[in-house]
């Protein structure tokens, strides 16, 4: 399989904006294979009950699917993501550090509010004003269904990752709950939402973003279009560094 890479202009855009939309990260065969195992986990055919904990006690979320099925330890999405992370992080061997599945079924209207992933680095949240490392960690969000604004595609505010971390609060779930839901309060005041960019994707497309980039997904207001997202992260650092 041809290695997925990004061009210099895309690397520059990632560092400027804090995210990229990738129209095609994996092919249809990979989407089908991942989706089949994903559906088996959702249906309880593969026991993931230990980490099948709703995000903020609202949205279906399975933490660390790689602990339950080998496909999530080694698959074309991880291979393609690693090659891109190599370019974006500037390291020869980026390390996968975390993965999860977030599912929004049709009619599940709860939003995932505006937040920055770096806020989750401390419990209950990292303090506002700290610097977010620009070259340490990034996250891929792979669509296993066609996604748009009706069923919960990703939205980003470009450039905010270069500023200190914004204030966050616990929007749902208990403060010490691992799957707590964090949010930027009053995003209409604290973010320039006029600059927000939606990233609709076909199944097999993905986004990748810096841990400091504010992002949001709407609920799934459709009647019959599920939204399965596979999320995996890479770090430029080794354990203990």
Per-residue pLDDT of 112-138, as tens digits, reads 999 999 999 999 999 999 999 888 999
pLDDT band at 61 (very low <50, low <70, confident <90, very high): very high
Q: How many domains does the chain have?
A: 1
Does residue 126 form part of some domain?
A: yes
Does residue 199 form part of some domain?
A: yes
Query: What's the pLDDT at 238?
Result: 57
- What percentage of the chain reaches a pLDDT higher than 70? 96
Does residue 137 form part of some domain?
A: yes
Does residue 240 form part of some domain?
A: no
The predicted model scores a pTM of 0.95
Does residue 1 form part of some domain?
A: no
pLDDT band at 56 (very low <50, low <70, confident <90, very high): low
Residue 157 domain boundaries: 8-235
Query: What's the pLDDT at 127?
Result: 97
Would the pLDDT of 239 be above 50? no
Does residue 123 form part of some domain?
A: yes
Would the pLDDT of 4 be above 80? no
| Predicted confidence (pLDDT) per residue in 202-234, tens digit | 999 999 999 999 999 999 999 999 999 999 999
Does residue 3 form part of some domain?
A: no
- Which CATH number does the domain housing residue 81 bear? 2.60.120.620
Does residue 143 form part of some domain?
A: yes
CA torsion 62→63→68→74, rounded to 10°? 110
**Across the chain, what does the average pLDDT equal?**
94
């Amino acid at each position: 399989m041809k290695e997925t890479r990004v061009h210099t202009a895309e690397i520059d855009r990632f560092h400027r904006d804090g995210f990229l939309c990738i129209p095609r990260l994996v092919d249809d065969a990979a989407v089908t294979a991942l989706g089949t195992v994903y559906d088996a986990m959702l249906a309880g055919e593969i026991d993931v009950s230990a980490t099948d904990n709703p995000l903020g006690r609202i949205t279906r979320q399975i933490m660390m699917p790689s602990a339950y099925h080998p496909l999530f330890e080694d698959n074309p999405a991880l291979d393609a993501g690693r090659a891109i992370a190599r370019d974006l992080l500037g390291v020869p061997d980026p390390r996968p550090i975390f993965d999860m599945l977030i599912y929004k079924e049709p009619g599940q209207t709860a939003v995932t509010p505006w937040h920055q992933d770096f806020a989750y680095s401390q419990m209950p949240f990292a303090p506002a004003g700290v610097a977010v490392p620009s070259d340490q960690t990034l996250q891929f969000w792979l669509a296993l269904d066609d996604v748009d604004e009706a069923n919960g595609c990703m939205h980003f505010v470009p450039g905010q990752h270069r500023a200190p971390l914004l204030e966050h609060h616990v929007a749902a779930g208990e403060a010490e709950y691992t799957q707590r839901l964090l949010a930027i309060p009053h995003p209409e005041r604290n973010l320039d939402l006029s600059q927000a960019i939606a990233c609709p994707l076909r199944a097999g497309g993905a986004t990748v973003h810096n841990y400091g980039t504010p992002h949001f997904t709407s609920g799934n207001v459709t009647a019959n279009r599920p939204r399965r997202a596979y999320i995996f992260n890479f770090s430029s650092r080794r354990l203990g560094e």
